[in-house]
Amino acid sequence: MITLKSEREIEGMRKAGAVLAGMHIGLRDIIKPGISSWEIEKFALKYLDKNGAVPEEKGFEGYEYATCVSVNNEVCHGFPRKGLILKEGDLVKVDTVVSVDGYMSDSCWAFAVGEVSDEVKKLMEVTKKALYLGIDQAVEGNRIGDIGHAIQSYVEDEMGYGDVREFVGHGIQPTMHEDPMVPGYGEAGHGPRLKNGMTITIEPMVNVGGWQCDTSAPDGWTVTTMDGSLSCQYEHTLVITPDGPKILTSQDPVEDAKYL
């Protein structure tokens, strides 16, 4: 069931989104060559606790961590690991869901470790642009398929990258995953209609190679690209309003001015 949120709920989600955005901003100074991916988890836990937020991923369906830390060809759901030392040129994606006073927000951000290759830079640029192309379609009266179509047309038809199918965005609040599902691919003019008060995540996952993913990892969680190619993800939580989509997890009030 798709629910429309009240102003009180949206404001609560905005507060949670601000904490989550602050965590990602803080990670810019943490993520560098030589640290373990476990340091990301430690920082996140400390930051969220200090700011009165609860890491909702921890304990979800048996998942043991506050963050998902996926590196290079890992698409999503990678564990933070003490033995995984980040090296110059790595591409790291950090995804988490937090709640403040029961209100949730969800965001994933990609980070370059030190100096990265042109391939990594381009993949990050394409994925971030895909996110915002999707957000631009999240207007009242459009349909879910308009979001996915905008992302897929750019990622696959224009750029020739793989647009992941197995994992999609979703509604959010009062639980982590609500209706509707929000694929990063699709057919324009199809799917549920977007209405004022809907809160959703848009989270394109883009592979340099094919879109297919390998979900057979022994840990039961870590997803990798089927062909071993690099993968990137960016994600925002947003609300549909009569004045256009409003991002609840923005890290940059200047870049995101039209969405705030």
Looking up residue 250, the CATH number of its domain turns out to be: 3.90.230.10
pLDDT mean across residues, the chain:
98
pLDDT score for 205: 98
pLDDT score for 240: 98
Residue 1 maps to a domain: no
Binding residues for a divalent metal cation, by number, are 95, 106, 170, 203, 235
In tens, the pLDDT along 145-199 reads 999 999 999 999 999 999 999 999 999 999 999 999 999 999 999 999 999 999 9
Mean pLDDT of 108-116: 98
Residue 63 maps to a domain: yes
pLDDT score for 212: 98
Residue 2 maps to a domain: no
Binding residues for substrate, by number, are 77, 177
Domain total of the chain? 1
Residue 196 maps to a domain: yes
Binding residues, by number, are 77, 95, 106, 170, 177, 203, 235
Confidence of residue 203 (pLDDT cuts 50, 70, 90): very high
Residue 116 maps to a domain: yes
pLDDT score for 131: 98
pLDDT score for 119: 98
Range of the domain at 171: 7-259
Confidence of residue 24 (pLDDT cuts 50, 70, 90): very high
pTM for the complete prediction? Answer: 0.97
In tens, the pLDDT along 42-97 reads 999 999 999 999 999 999 999 999 999 999 999 999 999 999 999 999 999 999 99
Residue 109 burial class via C-beta count within 10 angstroms: exposed 0-12, middle 13-18, buried 19 and up: buried
